[in-house]
Amino acid sequence: MARHFLKDDDLTAAEQEAVIELAIELKKSPYLKRPFEGPKTVAVIFDKTSTRTRVSFAVGISDLGGAPLIMDSQNSQLGAKESVADTARVLDRQVAQIIWRTYAQSGLEEMAANSKVPVINALSDEYHPCQLLADLMTIREHKGQLKGLKLAYVGDGNNMANSYIIAGALAGLHVSIASPKGYEPDPIVLNRGKELALQSGGSVTFGNSPSEAVADADVIATDTWVSMGMEAEKEKRIKDFAGFTIDADLLALAKADAIVLHCLPAYREFEISAEVLDGKQAVIWDQAENRLHAQKALMVFLAESDN
Ligand code: CP
Ligand code: NVA
């Protein structure tokens, strides 16, 4: 049975730490691990648009000795013409791993249930776990540790919020979320985060006040107010999220040496001011680069678990 990475807690806390450690090592020695030497082919499928995920997986698979096969659902039979299960049964006989950016988490679960090779979630409506491996690695690099730090996420209770809750709790962070009323993260995810935090010594709190969430934070994170697939709600969301912009006044409430994360793409003057996004405390370009190293470490981990 192959191991899959569909959500943040598909890795244990120890495995998450090991993947981040390996990512830091691979950043120094990019060709240290070659699990796809041959080359073996790895499929990367997109149902939604992407820059960072597309590039970092393509480069990462090549660095690991493999050949990336980048597919778009619009140009394949997946979806309208052929089921997820049948697609998995075709792909797993020819590729070493399947990486998929899609809508419903249930699609990824169906792919994994029918695949003999590892399946990786490259973003779903519910989670963005590869992003969190990069984010945790970036925090480790800038702060030297994860356990005990306060991470404030201000914004939509979306896939990024869910992944901050689960991955952050697993890593022992104190995760503090602030979302407007009506945009809260899923209560099941909040409860799962609290359960994981009990074991790690971290915590998960939720409220509707950005200033309370960011008070004394070591790390501040946000994400777009209009995720892919929600474009029709754009005007309403911009109104509902008033007061939730990460700007210099809000940043001043965090610790003086706080770092700012954004998974990108960013919409300046909406979820974050240009001053903060382009300012000294933002570490977003390291964060974007770390997608490459973190995902390489994940693919190595899954390839080794698959042997
Ligand atoms: N952060 C992120 O996943 O970016 P892309 O949508 O460009 O892949
Ligand atoms: N929440 C955003 C993340 C983009 C990387 C989305 O799903 O569109």
- Asked whether 135 and 170 are in contact (CB, 8 A), the reply is no
Strand partners, 100: 45, 121
Q: Show Cβ contacts of residue 5 under 8 Å, excluding neighbours closer than 6 positions.
A: 11, 118, 119, 120, 121, 129, 130, 298, 302
- Provide the pLDDT for residue 211: 98
- Asked whether 170 and 151 are in contact (CB, 8 A), the reply is no
- Domains parsed from the chain with CATH numbers: 8-128+291-305 (3.40.50.1370), 131-287 (3.40.50.1370)
Cis amide linkage into residue 180, ω under 30° from 0: no
Structure tokens at 170: 């697993």
> Rounded to an integer, what is the distance from CA 90 to the centroid of its chain?
27
Task: Write the DSSP assignment of 71-98 as a string of letters.
Answer: EEGGGSSBTTTB-HHHHHHHHTTT-S-E
Q: Find where tokens 């988490």 sit.
A: 105
Residue to probe by mutation, ligand 2, list 159, 164, 234, most atoms within 8 Å of CB: 159
Pocket of ligand 1, beta carbon within 6 A:
50-53, 123, 131, 263-264
pLDDT tens for each residue of 198-217: 999 999 999 999 999 999 99
pLDDT tens for each residue of 77-135: 888 889 999 999 999 999 999 999 999 999 999 999 999 999 999 999 999 999 999 99
pLDDT bucket at 307, cuts 50 / 70 / 90: low
The number of the ligand nearest the C-alpha atom of 291 reads: 1
Q: Show Cβ contacts of residue 58 under 8 Å, excluding neighbours closer than 6 positions.
A: 44, 68, 70
Number of helices (H) and strands (E), helices first, in the chain? 12, 9
* First and final C-alpha spacing in the chain: 10
Q: Find where tokens 């070493």 sit.
A: 96
Ranges assigned E (strand) in the chain:
41-46, 67-72, 98-101, 119-121, 150-154, 174-178, 203-207, 219-222, 259-262
Structure tokens at 51: 């820059």
Burial class (CB in 10 A: 0-12, 13-18, 19+), 58: middle
Read off the pLDDT of each residue in 17-38 and give the average, rounded to a whole number: 98
Residue to probe by mutation, ligand 1, list 44, 48, 52, 223, most atoms within 8 Å of CB: 52
**Residue 283: CB within 6 Å of ligand 2?**
no
H helices present in the chain, as ranges: 13-28, 52-63, 84-91, 105-113, 129-143, 159-171, 187-200, 210-214, 234-240, 248-251, 274-277, 284-306
**Residue 226: CB within 6 Å of ligand 2?**
no
pLDDT tens for each residue of 250-292: 999 999 999 999 999 999 999 999 999 999 999 999 999 999 9
Mean pLDDT of the chain: 97
Q: Which of 172, 221, 225, 165 is nearest to 189 (CA)?
A: 165
Distance CA(168)–CA(170), nearest Å, equals 5
**Residue 228: CB within 6 Å of ligand 2?**
yes
Cis amide linkage into residue 265, ω under 30° from 0: yes
pLDDT tens for each residue of 133-185: 999 999 999 999 999 999 999 999 999 999 999 999 999 999 999 999 999 99
pLDDT tens for each residue of 184-198: 999 999 999 999 999
Please say if the pLDDT value at position 306 is more than 80. Answer: no
- Asked whether 111 and 179 are in contact (CB, 8 A), the reply is no
Give the atom of ligand 1 at the shortest distance from the alpha carbon of 123: 3
